[in-house]
Amino acid sequence: MKHDIQVTINGTSHQLAVPANRTLLELLRDDLRLTGTNKGCEAGDCGACTVLLDGDPVPSCLVLAVQADGCDVLTIEGLASGNRLHPIQQAFVDTGAVQCGYCTPGMILVSLALLRKNPHPDEAEIRGALSGNLCRCTGYQKIVQAVQAAAKEMP
Amino acid sequence: MNSYRVLNSRVARVDAVEKVVGKAVYTDDMVVSGMLYGAILHSPVAHARILSIDTSLAKALPGVKAVLTHADTGHVKFGVSPARYDETIFCEDKVRYVGDEVAAVAATDPGTAMKALDLIKVVYEPLPILLDGLRAMEPGAPKVHERFHRNICQEVHWHFGDVDAARAQADFVRTDSLSSKMQDGAFLEPQSALAQYDHNGYLTLYSSTQTTHYVHRTLAMVLDIPLHKVRVVKPYVGGGFGPKAACSSMELITALLAMKTGRPVKITFDREQVFLHSRARHQFFHKMTTGIRRDGTISFLEHHCIMDGGAYSSFGIASVYYAGSLLGGPYRLANMKYDGYRVFTNKPVSGAQRGHGAVIARALFEVQLDRLAEEIGMDPLELRLKNVMETGDTTCNELDMSSLGMRECLEAVRERTGWNSRRTKGSSHKADGHGMGVAAGFFVSGAGYPIYRSRTHHCTVEIKVAEVGGGVTVRSGAAEIGQGSDTMLAMITAEVLGIPMEDVKVLSGDSDLSVDLGAYSSRTTLMTGHATRQAAMDARKQILEVLAEKTGIPLDALDIRDGFVHVQGSQMDFASIRKEYLGEHRGFPTQPHGDLLTFAEASRLAFLERGSIIGKGSYRPPPLGGSFKGAAVGTSPAFGCSAQVAELNVDMETGQIHMERITGAHDCGFAINRTQVEAQMQGAMSMGLGEALMEEVKYDDQGRILNANLAEYKIPTAMDMPPLESIIVESHEPNGPFGAKEVGEGAIMPTIPAVLNALYDATGAMVTELPLTPERVLRAIKKARGETSRGDGDTREQV
Ligand code: FES
Ligand code: FES
């Protein structure tokens, strides 16, 4: 049995019929082929699948697609405007906050949510905001620095 | 100041933009038409005979295209080292751990594949289970493999110098123990593989691997396909750290399912399967006796080690050698004895992980040095400086320190942390809960020999100059797994050819492109860097030769810089070359102009004169190592080294450790990319800190993992990690390209012992079992408080 939902993804409205048990992560990756949202655990533990749901970061593996009905979803693919990177993306590139890149989309999206709410976070606030997103490569040092750099750049 | 234009800079990674916009493709992102989904049936029991397997119900399920068991295979054994091939694609007679592969299916969708697994009926006859590595060698212990006596996978017995004579002359001798827990790689991307088999018998496997080369060889061997008909491609990889460095049953199963069904097949591990497959850090039990002279000179080390390897050999045969050999430096140590045992148990298999085999051994030795320094009343950092090896020294086990900035690293962290004024002198443990600890270590920069016996080049690189002119493509088998090797290849190519980095395209991680042994043993920058430099020099020479012939300017007066040809001394008349180029490009909006010939014109001319221009490079280390058994393991063309100071606070009531800062200095020879060197150091510190403080794969009494998920298996979060300082030391390694050597693994060596030494400084407590959970720390604090004397030798707790 499928449910009809309307969801806006990266600014585009989609009318979709989804099974009740389909997760938002599966909807994005498998149905819409938005594979920038990564799958690391499917249990809400790693943050690799983070997207913004009406502006709030959520692990898309724990959200059912039907729960996104009527919502606005931002994935990593929706952040840059054309070839122009978002300041957070640019900061991740410039500071070397990217290694394997698997955590990167989630890290960037939680950073965006943080900076929208708190444009001038201190280091502890940044670390707190990132703490639901695991990174095995960086030790977080350069990610924290990227968020600090982005905070300076963002309007 | 050096005169490099690209090298030694902080230029952005070539893959950074793709990764921040979400366009980087990892294996599980790939979907091809007609693709089936594979799934694997793992053993639910730790040790049992397989009495029967009934697949008939699974085969009958609509949507199922294949169900495979050992009966469908060629029964070829594989593993990491040919001397220890002890795995088969599927278990044949018995299962040896919870997670061993028993059967697999391919179906039209993942749900059907999972349903089919449930329909496979396996009857097991339970066998006694061996879970405790310390009991593996005891008489009467259950036997994991028939062919391995006393469950010993590999034992090592080394004696360099004369330990007994040195013991007689030592002024202080102490014995300590340290054990660790099995660690998990915990890379963020679970393993995934996608196989395609075509009508001409060619197999292509896309896989999340660190070593396309060994996967290539193993697929060909086990599936009996001619080597040249197998291609292994590595898309972007979400971290590896060692566990992805060998061919797995999952990769073989994916390929076999594709061959049997004639359709593409993909298998992606879930997180639990990542833990079951493991191949990560062993559990170690080390015991060391170290002697020292009153003046601080280290006299000898006697080292005993048991490593719990789980059910199969994997990398273990090398791991047990590394655990011993990598204590030969970075201090002068003339007398060293080592007895190491790598044993089998009925648990998931341990293999190689960042700092292969050597991390816990290093930790205990560095702890011993601190305690001995205390006994003779010497500052522990001073003690290290007193014993440190210098460039040109050779260890007792014949490792040649062709460059070694160990002293510089120690001095750098001493300076940066204000060690001399901030660390309490004399009686070190003031037990106020705040502590500083130092440690050092070193690591290979590329294994001296391939895993199988061969004269093979360890890597080859081709640089193809675009026939149309203007750019080049680097073709390499090297594995970008997040460490930045693609960027290193591009930087070296741009530097040598004298062109901007954006005109260098890197193709890598594909066994059809070139030979490259892969991303392990911290080999890529040194080895593939060498080959890339050579290939770029070759391409450059070919282009300039044509130019010299055409213009009459001597070859050595020609140079390429920033994408233009520069001529020393004389003027070059290139009017006819430009005229021809412009003639070929009528209508193109952008045309070369100005009074310098462009690289585009020069490289186009080279093609017109000579056809395709391909620069070739390769690297193979010179013969290395002594003549004793096992001398090959630990050899390397170069060694990186590292020192760190950890600062922490301990809550004396709860035992909770709060990290304040880690300051590290690493000698990478020469930083190809300064940002990426720091990034490797910081990543290594976080993995070391995780192992020190929290990481532990836990088992129940039936050998089932209790915490096979990232909620209960803790790795450091952004809140757990303290600020990290990374200082780059450059000793200019003569055997490295541009002087470069490793950073990826050496930088983990000091982290655990620096934390242990800081903990002792803070509390006076010695913990002999990792990780440093609050309970263990509190117990050790209480014990330290209750003790009247300290430094009385072995403080090992009951296991
Ligand atoms: S995949 Fe969703 S939190 Fe890990
Ligand atoms: S960059 Fe690899 S997990 Fe964060």
Question: Mind spelling out the 3-state secondary structure of A46-107?
Answer: CCCCEEEECCEEEEHHHCEHHHHCCCEEECHHHCCECCECCHHHHHHHHHCCCCCCCCHHHH
- In degrees rounded to 5, what are phi and psi of residue B193? -145, 145
Residue B142 included in any domain: no
The residue contributing the CA closest to ligand 2 atom 3 is A135
Q: Which two tokens stand for residue B365?
A: 């030795």
Chain B interface includes A142 (CB < 8 A): yes
Integer CA distances (angstroms), B692 to B107, B363, B469, in order: 43, 10, 53
Please report which confidence band the pLDDT of residue A1 belongs to, taking 50, 70 and 90 as the band edges.
confident
Picking from B111, B87, B104, B131, the residue whose alpha carbon sits closest to that of residue B706 is: B131
Q: Summarize pLDDT for A60-91 with one digit per residue, the tens.
A: 999 999 999 999 999 999 999 999 999 999 99
Question: B783 and B652 in one domain?
Answer: yes
Whether B781 and B642 share a structural domain: yes
Contact A121/B at CB under 8 A: no
Q: What is the pLDDT of residue B789?
A: 40
Which residue, of B589, B619, B649, is where some domain finishes?
B619
Residue B239 CA, ligand 1 centroid: distance in Å: 16
What range defines the domain where residue B197 resides? 27-127+188-239+244-277
* Residue B152 covered by a domain: no
Distance CA B676, CA A98 (A): 10
Query: Are residues A24 and A52 both part of a single domain?
Result: yes
Q: Is the CB of A48 under 6 A from ligand 1?
A: yes
Residue B16 lies in a domain: no
How would residue A21 be classed by pLDDT, with cut points 50, 70 and 90?
very high
Q: Are residues A118 and A61 in the same domain?
A: no
Examine the domain organization and report whether B424 and B342 are in the same domain.
yes
Atom of ligand 2 nearest to the CA of B239: 2
d(Cα A97, Cα A94) in Å, to the nearest integer? 8
Residue A97 and residue A126 in one domain: yes
Which CATH number belongs to the domain containing residue A18 in this structure?
3.10.20.30
Residue A49 shares a structural domain with residue A72: yes
Q: How far apart are CA A50 and CA A105, in angstroms?
A: 8
Cα dihedral A81→A85→A87→A88 (10° resolution) = 110
Classify residue B386 as exposed, middle or buried by CB count within 10 Å of its CB (0-12, 13-18, 19+). Answer: middle
Q: What CATH number does residue B270 fall under?
A: 3.90.1170.50
- Residue that wins the pLDDT comparison between B94 and B795: B94
pLDDT digits (tens, 9 = 90+) for B556-579: 999 999 999 999 988 899 999 999
Domain match, B611 and B643 both: no
Assess whether pLDDT exceeds 80 at residue B792. no
What pLDDT band is residue B249 in, cutting at 50, 70 and 90?
very high
Q: What is the pLDDT of residues B201-221, one digit of tens each?
A: 999 999 999 999 999 999 999
Q: Is B19 inside any structural domain?
A: no
Residue B600 lies in a domain: yes
Provide the pLDDT confidence category of residue B795 given band limits of 50, 70 and 90. very low
DSSP character for B218? H
Ligand 1 near A76 CB (within 6 A): no
Domain final residue pick, B619, B641, B676: B619
Owner of token pair 């709410």: A117
Question: Both B476 and B601 in a single domain?
Answer: yes
Cβ-defined contact of A79 to B241 (cutoff 8 Å) = no
Across the interface, whether the CB atoms of B718 and A133 are under 8 A apart is answered yes
Q: What is the pLDDT of residues B449-484, one digit of tens each?
A: 999 999 999 999 999 999 999 999 999 999 999 999
B673 CA distance to ligand 2 centroid (A)? 18
CATH of the domain at B498: 3.30.365.10
**Contact at 8 Å (CB) between B438 and B363?**
no
Mean pLDDT, to the nearest integer, of A43-59? Answer: 98
Ligand 2 lined by A110 (C-beta under 6 Å): no
Looking at the structure, tell me whether residues A106 and A125 fall in a common domain.
Answer: yes
Instruction: Name the token pair of B235.
Output: 């898309």
Q: What is the pLDDT of residues B747-767, one digit of tens each?
A: 999 999 999 999 999 999 999
The label of the residue with tokens 């952040």 reads A79
Give yes or no: residues A102 and A120 share one domain: yes
Residue B173 lies in a domain: no
Nearest-angstrom CA–CA distance, B655 and B779: 8
Q: List the domain range (segments joined by +) for residue A104.
A: 87-153
Residue nearest to ligand 2 atom 2, measured at CA: A100
* Residue of B709, B715, B726 lying closest to A136 (CB–CB): B715
Q: Is B290 helix (H, G, I), strand (E, B) or coil?
A: strand
Model pLDDT, residue B429: 53
Pick the last residue of a domain from B585, B619, B653.
Answer: B619
List b or e across A83-112, with b for residues whose CB sees 16 or more CB atoms inside 10 angstroms: eebbbbbbbbbbbbbbbbbbbbbbbbbbbb
Residue B156 lies in a domain: no
Chain B residues in contact with A94 (beta carbon < 8 A): 12
Calculate mean pLDDT across residues B141-147. 97
B635, pLDDT greater than 90 = yes
Same-domain status, A114 and A62: no
If asked whether residues B210 and B110 sit together in one domain, one would say yes
* Partners of residue B647 on adjacent β-strands: B436, B661
**Dist. CA A43 → ligand 1 center (Å):** 5
Measured between alpha carbons, how far is B137 from B742 in angstroms, rounded to an integer? Answer: 36
B432 pLDDT band, cuts 50/70/90, is confident
Buried b (16+ CB within 10 A) or exposed e, B326-341: bbbbbbebebbbbbbb
Give yes or no for a contact between B336 and B158, defined as CB atoms under 8 angstroms apart.
yes
Cα–Cα distance between B211 and B234 in angstroms, integer?
8
Question: Is the previous residue joined to B330 through a cis bond, with omega within 30 degrees of 0?
Answer: yes
Are B255 and B303 in a shared domain? no
Q: Which percentage of chain B shows pLDDT scores above 70?
A: 97
Question: Nearest-CA distance from B270 to chain A in Å?
Answer: 7
8 Å CB contact of A48 and B23: no
Domain count, chain B: 3
- Asked if B797 contacts B285 with a C-beta cutoff of 8 angstroms, the reply is no
Question: Measured between CB atoms, does A94 come within 8 Å of chain B?
Answer: yes
Residue B696 predicted with pLDDT over 50? yes
pLDDT tens profile B601-613: 999 999 999 999 9
Query: Is pLDDT at B430 greater than 70 in this prediction?
Result: no
B1 lies in some domain = no
Strands (E), B357-428: none
B235 at the A interface (CB within 8 A)?
no
Q: How many domains does chain A have?
A: 2
Question: B723 and B637 in one domain?
Answer: yes
H or E segment at B159? strand B152-160
Shared domain check, B465 and B370 = no
C-alpha distances (whole Å) from B510 to each of B42, B373, B474, B505, B516 are 30, 51, 12, 15, 9
In this structure, are residues A99 and B673 in contact, taking their beta carbons and an 8 Å threshold? no
Q: Are both B251 and B323 inside the same structural domain?
A: no
Q: Which residue's structure tokens are 């061959």?
A: B259
Task: Say how many Å lie between the CA of residue B535 and the centre of ligand 2.
Answer: 31
Query: Which of A78, A99, A134 is the last residue in one of the domains?
Result: A78
Question: Which member of B22, B481, B711 has the closest CB to residue A43?
Answer: B711
First to last CA, chain B: 55
> Does any ligand 1 atom lie closer than 6 A to the CB of residue A47?
yes
- Name residues whose C-beta falls within 8 Å of residue B372's C-beta, 6 or more positions apart in sequence: B172, B174, B290, B292, B383
Q: Both A64 and A93 in a single domain?
A: no
By Cβ distance, the residue of A48, A94, A137 closest to B12 is A94
- Check: CB of residue B492 under 8 Å from CB of residue B737: yes
Q: From A42, A102, A103, give the residue whose CB has the most ligand 1 atoms within 8 Å, as the site to mutate.
A: A42
CA B493 – CA B536 distance, rounded (Å): 6
* Secondary element (H or E) of residue B125: strand B121-126
* DSSP code at position B446: S
**Chain B contact set for A123 (CB, 8 A):** 723
Q: pLDDT tier at B790 (50, 70, 90 boundaries)? A: very low
Counting ligand 2 atoms within 8 A of each CB, the residue from A39, A49, A136 with the most, and so the one to mutate, is A136
Among B239, B715, B718, beta carbon nearest to A102: B239
pLDDT interval class at B787 (50, 70, 90): low
- A contact test, residue of B11, B17, B19, B682 with most A CBs within 10 A: B19
For residues A24 and A62, membership in a common domain is answered with yes
DSSP B58-81: HHHSTTEEEEE-GGGS----B-SS
Q: Is the CB of A105 under 6 A from ligand 1?
A: no
What is the CB-side half-sphere exposure of residue B200 using CA atoms within 13 A? 5
Q: List alpha helices for B341-379, DSSP H.
A: 359-375
Mean pLDDT rounded to a whole number for chain B: 96
**CA-to-CA distance for A78 and A73, rounded, in angstroms?**
9
Same structural domain for residues A44 and A92? Answer: no
Whole-number Å distance, alpha carbon B797 to ligand 1 midpoint, is 39
Closest residue in A to B688 (Cα) is A139
Which chain B residue lies closest to A22 (C-alpha atoms)?
Answer: B111
CA triplet B787, B788, B791: central angle to 5 degrees? 75
Domain endpoint, select from A78, A112, A142: A78
Contacts of B123 (CB under 8 A, 6+ apart): B50, B51, B52, B53
Residues B667 and B767 in one domain: yes
Angle at B276 between CA B88 and CA B138, to 5 degrees: 75
Residues of B in contact with A9 (CB under 8 A): none
A74, A6: one domain: yes
Q: What's the whole-number mean pLDDT along residues B770-798?
A: 72
In this structure, are residues B28 and B268 in contact, taking their beta carbons and an 8 Å threshold? yes
Omega before residue B753 within 30° of 0, cis:
no
Given A78, A113, A129, the domain boundary residue is A78
Of A45, A108, A134, the CB nearest to B20: A108
pLDDT of res. B627? 86
Walk across the sheet containing B639-650 and list its strands. B434-444, B639-650, B657-667, B724-729
CA nearest B491: which of B670, B750, B626?
Answer: B670
Is the same domain home to B570 and B697? no
CATH classification at residue A97: 1.10.150.120
